């Protein structure tokens, strides 16, 4: 039995490591949530100790009818009044934290739409919307207001290291404020079961210095640079990819799938699952459902040889 417990402990501790670790907060809102967690944990430990201690004391003490009045007072104050006051105070505190992380103001507004099973990301800027997908970049020490919705079923937007989670509901808009305080690549994910590829619905949340973020956003707003005689783009159009995907600056204006204008500039492929390399791109095209089951994009197993190479080369040029 003891050996089994010792084997389980390392597995449990492994969940507290890595970029999805919500106990290593890198955002102001995450710090508030972490603070609430530790207070609740400490309070639960103290109350548990008091209850067990009282139970042991009562079990060992001989029954004394003369102490019945004191026992009733103890039950009233310790079993009713004290828990009510403590739980009420914690509820109010938790609601204050909820209010803070659902602010309707921010230095930057980002709309995120949960799709099956990927993320449509739209930055609102004075010059117009900047559309990307499956990767969110934020400036450090600036509050980003996320306006969240869903296209099909309920999803849940969560960047554990930056803040709490928020449901994304079709037909409604919810808001979430995140203020990163540390640069780095923090993993995001869908925190509510939404269908077959739910576990593969992730994204990168990359926190950058303000100047680097401004440079990235300006580049992201630009149209793709595609040569008119690019054979890879011709194959892209011949295979019907432009019916689903948009590449700004070209005739490909499909509204269904992720925007591919600057696809190769993203660090991950397949909604935060695979590294962005020519090898994984080729596999993604030919063995789509093997790499991510149940998604809407059809596989192209017959696309091989020079045609596949040219298509991959074109997609990897979209930076």
Residues 79 and 150 in one domain: yes
Which pair of structure tokens corresponds to residue 173? 């808009």
CA distance linking residue 111 with residue 128, whole number of Å: 13
Q: Residues 147, 23: one domain?
A: yes
Q: Answer for the pair 27, 181: CB distance below 8 angstroms, yes or no.
A: yes
Last residue of a domain, one of 157, 173, 208: 208
If asked whether residues 192 and 280 sit together in one domain, one would say no
Residue 8 reports pLDDT greater than 60: no
Q: Say what percent of the chain tops pLDDT 70.
A: 92
| 129's tokens | 């919307």
Predicted confidence (pLDDT) per residue in 247-291, tens digit: 999 999 999 999 999 999 999 999 999 999 999 999 999 999 999
Is residue 43 located within the same domain as residue 123?
yes
CATH number at residue 133: 2.60.40.420
Distance CA 174, CA 184 (A): 26
pLDDT of residue 20: 73
* Domain match, 54 and 185 both: yes
Residue 305's pLDDT band (cuts 50, 70, 90): very high
Answer yes or no: do 175 and 103 share one domain: yes
* pLDDT higher than 70, residue 105: yes
Same domain? 187 vs 243: no
For residues 26 and 138, membership in a common domain is answered with: yes
**Does the pLDDT of residue 9 top 70, yes or no?**
no
Q: 178 with 269, same domain? A: no
pLDDT digits (tens, 9 = 90+) for 71-97: 788 778 877 888 888 888 888 888 887
First to last CA, the chain: 55
How many angstroms separate the Cα of 39 from the Cα of each of 34, 97, 145? 9, 13, 27
Task: Tell me: pLDDT of 160 over 60.
Answer: yes
Range of the domain at 287: 231-316
The answer to whether residue 176 sits within a structural domain is: yes
Q: Count up the domains in the chain and report the number.
A: 2
- In angstroms, the CA 115 to CA 153 distance is 8
Give the list of residues 6+ apart from residue 86 with CB closer than 8 angstroms, or none.
Answer: 43, 47
Token readout for 185 is: 């690549």
Measure the CA–CA gap between 79 and 118, rounded to whole angstroms.
48
User: What's the mean pLDDT in 177-206?
Assistant: 94
- Per DSSP, the three-state class of 239 is coil
Residues 167 and 68 in one domain: yes
CA-only gyration radius of the chain, Å: 26
Mean pLDDT estimate for the chain: 89
| Residues written for the chain | 319
pLDDT of residue 157: 97
Task: Give the model's pLDDT for residue 258.
Answer: 96
Q: What share of the chain is helix, strand, coil (3-state, %, to 5)?
A: 45, 20, 35
Tokens of 83: 């828990």
Share above pLDDT 90 across residues of the chain, in percent, rounded to a whole number: 62
**Whether residue 147 is found in the same domain as residue 282:** no
Examine the domain organization and report whether 129 and 184 are in the same domain: yes
Q: What is the pLDDT of residue 24?
A: 79
More confident: 49 or 15: 49
Asked if residue 217 belongs to a domain, the reply is: no
Of 288, 259, 262, nearest in space to 273 by CA: 288
Other beta carbons less than 10 A from residue 161's beta carbon: 26
218, part of any domain = no
Q: H helices within 1-127, ranges in order? A: 2-14, 28-60, 68-76, 82-101
């Amino acid at each position: 039995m003891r050996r089994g417990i010792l084997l389980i402990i390392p597995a449990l501790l492994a969940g507290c490591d890595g970029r999805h670790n919500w106990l290593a907060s890198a955002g102001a809102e995450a710090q508030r949530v972490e603070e609430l967690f530790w207070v609740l944990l400490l309070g639960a430990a103290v109350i548990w100790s008091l209850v067990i201690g009282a139970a042991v004391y009562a079990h060992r003490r001989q029954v004394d009818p003369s102490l019945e009045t004191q026992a009733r007072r103890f039950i009233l104050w310790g079993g009713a009044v004290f828990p009510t006051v403590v739980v009420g105070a914690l509820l109010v505190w938790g609601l204050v934290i909820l209010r803070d992380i659902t602010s309707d103001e921010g230095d930057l507004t980002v709309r995120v739409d949960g799709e099956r099973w990927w993320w449509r990301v739209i930055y609102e800027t004075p010059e117009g919307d900047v559309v990307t997908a499956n990767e969110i970049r934020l400036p450090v020490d600036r509050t980003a207001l996320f306006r969240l919705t869903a296209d099909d079923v309920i999803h849940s937007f969560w960047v554990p290291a930056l803040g709490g989670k928020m449901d994304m509901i079709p037909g409604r808009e919810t808001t979430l404020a995140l203020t990163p305080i540390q640069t780095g690549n923090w993993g995001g994910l869908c925190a509510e079961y939404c269908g077959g590829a739910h576990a593969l619905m992730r994204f990168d949340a990359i926190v950058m210095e303000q100047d680097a973020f401004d440079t990235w956003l300006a580049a992201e707003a630009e149209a793709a640079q595609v040569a008119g005689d690019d054979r890879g783009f011709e194959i892209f159009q011949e295979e019907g990819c432009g019916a689903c995907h948009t590449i700004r600056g070209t005739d490909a204006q499909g509204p269904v799938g992720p925007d591919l204008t600057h696809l190769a500039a993203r660090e991950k492929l397949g909604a935060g699952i695979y590294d962005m390399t020519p090898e994984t791109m080729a596999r993604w095209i030919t063995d789509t459902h093997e790499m991510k089951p149940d998604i809407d994009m059809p596989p192209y197993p017959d696309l091989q040889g020079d045609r596949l190479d040219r298509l991959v080369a074109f997609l990897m040029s979209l930076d």
